[in-house]
Amino acid sequence: MRIRLFDPAAHPRFDDLPWATPLEQWVHPRITDLPVGLHRHVVRFVQYDHQFYALKELPNRLAEREYRLLRTMNDRGLPVVAAVALVNERGGPDPVLITRYLHYALPFRLLFRERPDIDVAATLVESIATLLARLHTAGFYWGDCSLSNALFRRDELHLSAYALDTETGELHDQMTAGQRQTDIDVAIVNVAGGLADLAAAGELPDSVDPFEVAPQIGTAYADIWEELHGSSTYDPVDPAALENRLDRLHDLGFGVSEAVITDASGSGAFVFRPSAIVGGYHRRELVELTGIVAREHQAHRLLDDISRFRAELEADADGRLPLREVGHRWLTEWYDPVLTALPADVAGKLERPQLYIEVLDHQALHSGNGDNRQLSLIEAAQQYGKDVLTRRPHERVSGTSTTAEPR
Q: What is the pLDDT of residues 112-125, one digit of tens each?
A: 776 666 688 899 99
Across 10-19, 100-109, 196-205, 236-245, least confident range: 100-109
Q: Is residue 22 part of a domain?
A: yes
Is residue 270 situated within a structural domain?
A: yes
- pLDDT category, 369, cuts 50, 70, 90? low
Q: pLDDT tens, 130-146? A: 999 999 999 999 999 99
Provide the pairing of β-strand 31-33 with 96-100: unpaired
120 and 209 together in one domain:
yes
Whether the pLDDT of residue 309 is over 50: the answer is: yes
Amino acid found at 107: P
Q: Would 399 be classed as within a structural domain?
A: no
Q: How many domains is the chain partitioned into structurally?
A: 4
Q: What is the CATH number of the domain that holds 11?
A: 3.30.200.120
State the maximum Cα–Cα separation within the chain, in Å, rounded to a whole number: 77
Return the closest-CA partner of residue 239 out of 269, 262, 260, 276. 269
Q: Please say if the pLDDT value at position 405 is more than 50.
A: no
Evaluate whether residue 407 is within a structural domain. no
Q: Contact at 8 Å (CB) between 108 and 153?
A: no
**What's the order of all strands across the beta sheet hosting 158-163?**
105-106, 150-155, 158-163
Summarize the confidence of residues 235-239 as an average pLDDT. Answer: 88
Cα separation, 72 vs 341, in Å, equals 41
What percent of the chain lies above the pLDDT cut of 70?
94
Q: How far is CA 97 from the centre of its chain?
A: 21
Q: How many CB atoms lie within 10 A of CB 150?
A: 28
| Position 345 pLDDT exceeds 60 | yes
Evaluate whether residue 239 is within a structural domain. yes
Identify whether residues 124 and 34 lie together within a single domain: no
Same domain, 210 and 274: no
Contact assessment for residue 135 and residue 170, using Cβ atoms and an 8 Å cutoff: no
With beta carbons less than 8 A apart as the criterion, state whether 379 and 366 touch. no
> What is d(CA 402, CA 407) in angstroms, rounded to the nearest whole number?
9
- In the predicted structure, residue 199 carries a pLDDT above the cut 60: yes
Its domain, for residue 59, covers 2-101
Alpha helices in 117-268 (DSSP H): 120-137, 177-200, 210-213, 216-229, 240-251
Q: What is the pLDDT of residue 287?
A: 95
**Is pLDDT of 399 > 70?**
no
Pick the last residue of a domain from 101, 131, 148. Answer: 101
Whether 246 maps to a domain, the answer reads yes
The pLDDT assigned to 15 comes to 96
- Does 265 share its domain with 200? no
Using DSSP, state whether 393 is helix, strand or coil.
coil
Q: Give the model's confidence band at 271: pLDDT under 50 very low, under 70 low, under 90 confident, else very high.
A: very high
pTM comes to 0.86
Is 401 part of any domain?
A: no
- Averaged confidence pLDDT in the chain: 90
Torsion on CA atoms 136, 140, 141, 145, rounded to nearest 10 = -80
User: Quick one: 212 and 115 in the same domain?
Assistant: yes
**Same structural domain, 241 and 152:** no
Q: Specify the pLDDT at position 117.
A: 61
CATH number of the domain encompassing residue 184? 1.10.510.10
